[in-house]
């Protein structure tokens, strides 16, 4: 899929961008963050008519599929490639392929220690874990206990998320941690561990998972099975992707999710293309590492978060993901048509 403008269209002040093409290679096509990331790319390009962008997402989350998507993007002859890294394993072949075409490389997602990467857009997951831990007592809403599934032994990032969450959660004196399990070292899937913990502690108030996939990829009927194990549990996790919003419910009718923590995904794509363009223009002030912050989302704050999420993604229609009424009225500062209108270059982001 592509997102591009007519290269003949002019824009005062951006003459030096004429003929420039940036390719954005996202995570797999059904990845819950991809529509938002792609919308952020569209939002940036919409403000610069002389700039083109092509967006490609692999059909599967495999190294082979990602490499094929990179090859497809490179066939367009881009000046720069913005590559989303979900799993650093096997990413070297993609970097080599991009380097062989002499295209500048900006990564998003997981950081890669490779000198061929010119800049990186990071998602502050450790900060998200700390934010959740610091607010756990509030989002628990009177519940006195919680369970924790983490991946501390998986690597540096997972360890930092666990440490930051635990340090903050330990200060929530009204809550008791009943049991914590390291999914990476258990030999069992996170879903199996969630089932086991809720079965062992049928009256636990909360279950926190520092990896969101267990909720994003749940099989049909699994939620009902968990309710049979623990009728009143609520969960919190490190993702605020739209596919999870309905789990929050409404302030008057709370759902099974007590809190979600994640970024405005449009800011990821927007920042990556902005940095790539600035590097191509030899901007010496461009940050080589840019961090997109995460937000705590509850049923009470969901509508506001959804409006800003849509705006950051160039007017992405998110109404179908809301648990109640759609976001009312047009999203301020955005367009419902991709790549039309003036880009809103604000957003939740910090440079390092």
Q: Output the CA–CA distances (angstroms, integers) from residue 268 to 73, 120, 124, 249, 301, in the order listed.
A: 19, 10, 11, 27, 21
Q: How far apart are CA 12 and CA 19, in angstroms?
A: 15
When pLDDT is averaged across residues 196-200 and rounded to a whole number, the result is 96
Decide whether 15-123+264-294+305-351 matches 126-262 in CATH topology: yes
Percent of the chain with pLDDT strictly greater than 70: 87
Q: How far apart are CA 303 and CA 327, in angstroms?
A: 7
Confidence at residue 90, expressed as pLDDT on a 0 to 100 scale = 81
Topology at the third CATH level for domain 15-123+264-294+305-351: Rossmann fold (3.40.50)
Residues comprising the chain, all counted: 352
- Higher-scoring residue by pLDDT: 336, 326: 326
When pLDDT is averaged across residues 121-134 and rounded to a whole number, the result is 97
pLDDT digits (tens, 9 = 90+) for 251-301: 999 999 999 999 999 999 999 999 999 999 999 899 999 999 999 999 999
Domain extent listing, the chain? 15-123+264-294+305-351, 126-262
Q: What is the distance in angstroms between the CA of the first residue and the CA of the last residue of the chain?
A: 32
pLDDT digits (tens, 9 = 90+) for 55-65: 999 999 899 99
What's the pLDDT band for 176 if we cut at 50, 70, 90?
Answer: very high
What's the pLDDT band for 341 if we cut at 50, 70, 90?
Answer: very low
Three-class SS of residue 72? helix
Confidence at residue 18, expressed as pLDDT on a 0 to 100 scale = 67
Confidence check: pLDDT of 10 > 70 = no
pLDDT digits (tens, 9 = 90+) for 300-326: 999 999 999 999 999 999 999 999 754
Q: How far apart are CA 335 and CA 341, in angstroms?
A: 7
What is the architecture, at CATH level 2, of domain 126-262? Answer: 3-Layer(aba) Sandwich (3.40)
- Following CA atoms 158, 175, 323, 35 in sequence, which dihedral angle do they give, to the nearest 10 degrees? -10
Confidence check: pLDDT of 2 > 70 = no
Task: With CA atoms as reference, report the closest residue to 246 among 254, 235, 236.
Answer: 254
Contact 23, 74 (CB under 8 A): yes
What's the pLDDT band for 17 if we cut at 50, 70, 90?
Answer: low
Confidence at residue 132, expressed as pLDDT on a 0 to 100 scale = 98
Other beta carbons within 10 Å of 331: 22
Confidence check: pLDDT of 7 > 60 = no
pLDDT digits (tens, 9 = 90+) for 240-254: 999 999 999 999 999
Confidence at residue 3, expressed as pLDDT on a 0 to 100 scale = 47
Confidence at residue 16, expressed as pLDDT on a 0 to 100 scale = 59
**Would the CA dihedral through 351, 136, 246, 198 be positive or negative?**
positive
At residue 346, φ and ψ (nearest 5 deg) are -85, -175
Q: Count the helix, strand and coil residues of the chain and give each as a percent rounded to the nearest 5.
A: 35, 20, 45
Confidence at residue 47, expressed as pLDDT on a 0 to 100 scale = 85
What's the pLDDT band for 333 if we cut at 50, 70, 90?
Answer: very low
Angle between helices 190-200 and 222-229 (to 10 degrees): 30
């Amino acid at each position: 899929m592509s997102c591009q403008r007519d290269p003949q269209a002019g824009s005062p002040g951006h003459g030096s961008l004429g003929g420039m093409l940036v390719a954005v290679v996202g995570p797999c096509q059904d990845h819950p963050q991809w529509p938002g990331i792609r919308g952020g790319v569209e939002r940036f390009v919409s403000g610069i008519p002389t700039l083109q962008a092509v967006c490609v997402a692999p059909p599967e989350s495999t190294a082979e599929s990602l490499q094929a998507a990179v090859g497809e993007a490179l066939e367009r002859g881009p000046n720069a490639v913005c590559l989303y890294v979900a799993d650093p394993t096997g990413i070297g072949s993609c970097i080599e392929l991009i380097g062989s075409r002499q295209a500048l490389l900006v990564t998003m997602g997981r950081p890669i220690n490779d000198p061929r990467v010119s800049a990186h857009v990071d998602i502050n997951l450790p900060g998200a874990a700390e934010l959740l831990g610091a607010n756990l007592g509030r989002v628990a809403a009177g519940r006195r206990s919680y369970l924790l599934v983490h991946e501390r032994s998986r690597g540096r990032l997972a360890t930092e998320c666990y440490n930051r969450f635990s340090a903050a959660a330990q200060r929530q004196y009204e809550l008791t941690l009943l049991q914590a399990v390291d999914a990476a070292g258990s030999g069992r899937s996170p879903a199996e561990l969630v089932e086991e913990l809720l079965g062992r502690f049928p009256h636990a108030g909360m279950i926190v998972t520092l990896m969101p996939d267990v909720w994003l990829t749940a099989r049909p009927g699994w939620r009902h099975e968990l309710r049979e194990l623990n009728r009143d549990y609520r969960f919190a996790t490190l993702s605020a992707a739209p596919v999870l919003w309905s789990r929050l419910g409404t302030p008057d009718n709370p759902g099974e999710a007590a809190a979600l923590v994640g970024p405005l995904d449009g800011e990821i794509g927007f920042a990556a293309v902005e940095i790539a363009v600035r590097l191509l223009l030899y901007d010496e002030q461009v940050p080589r590492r840019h961090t997109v912050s995460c937000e705590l989302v509850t049923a009470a704050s969901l509508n506001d978060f959804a409006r800003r999420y849509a705006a950051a993604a160039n007017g992405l229609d998110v109404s179908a993901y809301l648990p109640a009424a759609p976001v009312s009225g047009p999203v301020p500062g955005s367009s419902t048509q991709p790549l039309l209108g003036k880009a809103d270059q604000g957003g939740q982001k910090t440079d390092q």
